[in-house]
Structure 1
Amino acid sequence: MDFWPEFLASSWGREFVAGGFGGVAGIISGYPLDTLRIRQQHSNTGSAFGILRRIVAAEGPSALYRGMGAPLASVTFQNAMAFQIYAVLSRAFDSSVGTKDPPSYKGVALGGVGTGALQSLMLTPVELVKIRLQLQVRNYAKPHQEDGHKGPLSIAKSIFKTQGLRGMYQGFTITMLRDAPSHGVYFWTYEYVREQLHPGCRKSGQERLRTMLVAGGLAGVASWVCCYPLDVIKTRLQAQLPSSPLKYSGIVDCFRKSVQVDGYSVLWRGLGTAVARAFVVNGAIFSAYEIALRCLFNNNDHESIQTENII
């Protein structure tokens, strides 16, 4: 009975729960743009607006939220763990910084890389199921015509039954190659930008809400730009179904065939959608995370946002 209050009273508990709030805010704010990004990466033609019109006309607006259950169900724990792991690693990689001072930029970058690598273990199965759902096509005019349409649990069970645990980790290597460096860029950019916009805020914790939104948004954009070609390859590999002949035998083969058919521009297909989503989502994630630390748990180490400066 005493575990939960004691957990929230600890630094680990606050970081964990605040990270969960950030993850939920990010999923809800950016999922439609994520579906659009996945469709762009998987298709050979079509602009973002053209694909959006086709989805809404043929499958209905709800198709933009298809597959959200899988990441939303796991994202609270996943994002909470990511922020907690980052909080530990960012200091572990540079122990010369005092406990009352913010972690150094070196510790931030290396902690982010370690966080991204470890997070891939949780993220790969979730993204595999999400991508399979997002790429399913349902006839909006005849919603009962396609009995094969499945939810996240059904798809996960099907993958596990036919391919085992190894099937759930299809695309793990490319996910880790994408997430490790991108998380290093992600956390470093956030910490650097927030300090530039509001000098001293890393130590005082008194930045404005707009500082959180802008710094978080730019961190998301920077992390996506640096890893985007790897994300395109990841989508194409995870979209392959075992019931059909495999189009790509691995990362290098997928890269070679994709470029051979569509040119190098295919590696940046959907980048505009991803960048727009990244700014919205990561602004929401960091704002929810920071506000949860300050307001919900009355953390003495993170003073409340000054109400006169909240906008």
Structure 2
Amino acid sequence: MDFWPEFLANSWGREFVAGGFGGIAGVFSGYPLDTLRIRQQHSKTGSAFTILRNVVSTEGPSALYKGMTAPLASVTFQNAMVFQIYAVLSRAFDKSVPLSDPPSYKGVALGGFGTGALQSLILSPVELVKIRLQLQNVQAKPPHQRLDSHKGPLGVAKSIMKTEGWRGMYRGLTITVLRDAPAHSFYFWTYEYMREQLHPGCRKSGQESLRTMLLAGGFAGVASWVCCYPLDVVKTRLQAQSPYVPLKYNGIVDCFRKSVNEEGYHVLWRGLGTAVSRAFLVNGAIFTAYEIALRCLFNNGSIHSENAI
């Protein structure tokens, strides 16, 4: 009964819980745009608006939230771990900075890189299940598989384990690490840099406005996606492959080469507009929820007046 009060009494507990609140806010705010991004990357034609109109007319608005249970169920723990690992690594990579000062930009960038690599171990299976669910009515399947087309994330995960094993569950892990390590480095560095530019001195005082949180978080999300987007397209195509049909791609390089040869280099940026729009919205929500939760936990529920819009 005394676990949570004791856990929240230390800085690790606050970072962990605040990160969880941020993750939940991010999933709810941007999931429909994520579904559109995945369908754009997997298809050969169609704008975001065309795909949106077709999805709503043929499958209903709820299809935009298909597969959300998988990331939502894990996102609290995943995002909590991301912010907690980052808090530790950003200090560990530059110990010359006193604990009373914010971590240096060098520590922020290196800490973000390590955080992205480590969190891929959690994220890769979750994204695999999510992508399979989001593409359920898009991929061609044998008749015996169509009966299972509406099963939830647990059903999809069990099916993958049964037919492909752990190797199948972690399909796309390498490309996820290659995407997330540099992306998280840009992510946290951009956030820290932008919040300081928008509100000088706030990294040390912790009293930036909600507007600063939203904008800095939004710019951080955009920067992280732009730097790694071609890798995300390759990852989606690799993880969308089903064992019920012959595999089209035999690896990262093969997927990259075949995609470019068949559809041109522009395929590597397909869906970028949707991804960037979602990134700004989602990461603004994530950092705002994170910062507010952190202040509530540190200040017994009170938030500085500067945080009001």
TM-score (norm. length: structure 1): 0.95
- Trace 1:55-94 onto structure 2 (pairs within 5 A): 55-94=55-94
CA 1:309–1:19 in structure 2 vs 1: closer, same or farther (change >3 Å)?
A: closer
- Trace 1:224-303 onto structure 2 (pairs within 5 A): 224-295=225-296, 297-299=297-299
Distance (Å, rounded) in 1 between the aligned partners of 2:114 and 2:303: 30
- Trace 1:1-311 onto structure 2 (pairs within 5 A): 1-137=1-137, 147-149=147-149, 150-295=151-296, 297-299=297-299, 305-307=303-305, 310-311=308-309
Could you tell me whether the CA contact under 8 Å between 2:23 and 2:80 is conserved in 1? yes
Structure 1 stretches lacking a partner, 5+ long: 139-145
Distance (Å, rounded) in 1 between the aligned partners of 2:37 and 2:253: 22
Could you tell me whether the CA contact under 8 Å between 2:207 and 2:306 is conserved in 1? no
Matched letter for residue 307 of structure 1: S
1:136 Cα deviation (Å)? Answer: 1.0
Distance (Å, rounded) in 1 between the aligned partners of 2:277 and 2:258: 28
Runs of 4+ that moved beyond 6 A: none
SS of the equivalent of 2:207 reads coil
1:31 Cα deviation (Å)? Answer: 0.1
1:147 Cα deviation (Å)? Answer: 2.9
Structure 2 stretches lacking a partner, 5+ long: 139-145
1:309 Cα deviation (Å)? Answer: 5.1
Distance (Å, rounded) in 1 between the aligned partners of 2:199 and 2:225: 24
Could you tell me whether the CA contact under 8 Å between 1:40 and 1:270 is conserved in 2? yes
SS of the equivalent of 2:86 reads helix
Aligned residues: 301
Q: Deviations over 1:24-80 (max 9, x none)?
A: 000000000000000000000000000000000010000000000000000000000
1:229 Cα deviation (Å)? Answer: 0.2
Q: Deviations over 1:110-152 (max 9, x none)?
A: 00000000000000000000000000118xxxxxxx6322210
1:173 Cα deviation (Å)? Answer: 0.2
1:308 Cα deviation (Å)? Answer: 5.3
- Cα RMSD for the two superposed structures: 1.3
1:98 Cα deviation (Å)? Answer: 0.2
Matched letter for residue 25 of structure 2: A
Could you tell me whether the CA contact under 8 Å between 2:116 and 2:185 is conserved in 1? yes
Q: Deviations over 1:231-286 (max 9, x none)?
A: 00000000000111000000000000000010000000000000000000000000
1:14 Cα deviation (Å)? Answer: 0.3
1:167 Cα deviation (Å)? Answer: 1.1
Q: Deviations over 1:277-309 (max 9, x none)?
A: 0000000000000000112x1349xx9543255
Matched letter for residue 50 of structure 1: T
SS of the equivalent of 1:102 reads coil
